[in-house]
């Protein structure tokens, strides 16, 4: 989500205000995608007071890991993150990518312990929601409670769709599904649905989809040969969105 790729006004102000850590939700460019949506004006300003705007995270910097104590749910403010879960022997699975307005760390509510490790994919920043205070608030503000449940349920839905990909789809279908999901998320954020910059490496994509790096690389080449997209480095241009939709299973 680099500044260079912005094509609509939604994020125009983000660069300017990036350093104003205590910017109120009401004037945040993410308002339409974020938690406060649907909250009353005065509820929102109360919520505002418990939210801490963090300093930035650098590429590869850890936001939390299983050894961190769970106190906070994070919302991406700018940039992007990945979460990974580890097997006993160190094998890792990239479970999700997160973009502005999305919540990270909700799987820690059960067990009060982060299940996964979250790392920045690029220079990024987050808002921190102290979970205990969020609980207090949401018992007073039904709409907030509703938002939290909806977000949890949304993550559940996307994990279940990924299960379908991992369990039943071919390598090509997996990669196309992934690209379409990226396309949709960029477009929801006011960027082009057909031309965007991936923030994760080929290795991250391959791992996330249960494939080898080489397979991902070959598939990109193949999709280019079929004139469905172009890709150079991290820059993707989708040439035939509907053809891709037909091939994703």
Partner DNA sequence: ACACTTTATTGACCTGGATCAATGTGTGAA
Partner DNA sequence: TTCACACATTGATCCAGGTCAATAAAGTGT
Least distance CB 97 / DNA (angstroms): 14
Residue 184 touches which of a copy of itself, DNA, none (CB < 5 to 8 A by kind)?
none
Residue 9 touches which of DNA, a copy of itself, none (CB < 5 to 8 A by kind)?
none
- Per CB under 8 A, does 111 bind a copy of itself? yes
Residue by residue, DSSP assigns the chain as --GGG--SGGGTTHHHHTT-TT--GGG-TTGGGSTTTT--HHHHHHHHHH-EE---B-TT-EEE-TTSB--EEEEEEES-EEEEEE-TTS-EEEEEEE-TT-EE-GGGTGGGB--SEEEESSSBEEEEEEHHHHHHHHHH-HHHHHHHHHHHHHHHHHHHHHHHHHHH--HHHHHHHHHHHHHHHHHHTTS-SSEEE--S-HHHHHHHHT--HHHHHHHHHHHHHTTSEEEETTEEEES-HHHHHHT--
Q: In the complex with DNA, which residue's Cβ is closer, 159 or 235? A: 235
Residue 203 touches which of a copy of itself, DNA, none (CB < 5 to 8 A by kind)?
DNA
- Per CB under 8 A, does 72 bind a copy of itself? no
**Contact residue for DNA among 218, 226, 228, 239 (CB under 7 A):** 218
199-238 footprint of a copy of itself as x/- string (CB under 8 A): --------xxxx----------------------------
User: Which residues contribute to the site for DNA (CB under 7 A)?
Assistant: 59, 170-172, 201-203, 210-218, 220-221, 231-234
């Amino acid at each position: 989500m680099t500044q260079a790729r912005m094509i609509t006004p939604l994020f125009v102000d983000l660069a300017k205000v990036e350093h104003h850590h205590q910017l109120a939700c009401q004037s945040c460019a993410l308002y339409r995608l974020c938690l406060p949506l649907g909250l009353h004006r005065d509820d929102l300003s109360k919520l505002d007071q418990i939210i801490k705007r963090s300093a930035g995270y650098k590429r590869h910097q850890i936001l939390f890991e299983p050894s961190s104590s769970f106190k906070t749910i994070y919302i991406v403010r700018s940039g992007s993150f990945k979460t990974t879960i580890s097997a006993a022997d160190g094998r890792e699975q990239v479970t999700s990518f997160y973009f502005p307005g999305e919540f990270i760390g909700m799987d820690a509510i059960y067990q009060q312990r982060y299940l996964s490790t979250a790392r920045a994919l690029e220079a990024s920043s987050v808002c921190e929601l102290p979970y205990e205070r969020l609980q207090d608030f949401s018992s007073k503000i039904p709409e907030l409670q509703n938002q939290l449940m909806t977000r949890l349920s949304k993550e559940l839905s996307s994990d279940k769709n990924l299960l379908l990909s991992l369990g039943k789809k071919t390598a090509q279908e997996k990669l196309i599904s992934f690209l379409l999901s990226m396309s949709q998320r960029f477009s929801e954020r006011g960027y082009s649905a057909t031309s965007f910059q991936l923030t994760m490496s080929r290795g991250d994509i391959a791992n996330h989809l249960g494939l080898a790096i080489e397979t991902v690389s070959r598939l990109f080449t193949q999709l280019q040969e079929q004139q469905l997209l172009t890709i150079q480095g991290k820059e993707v241009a989708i040439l035939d969105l509907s053809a891709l939709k037909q091939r994703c299973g």
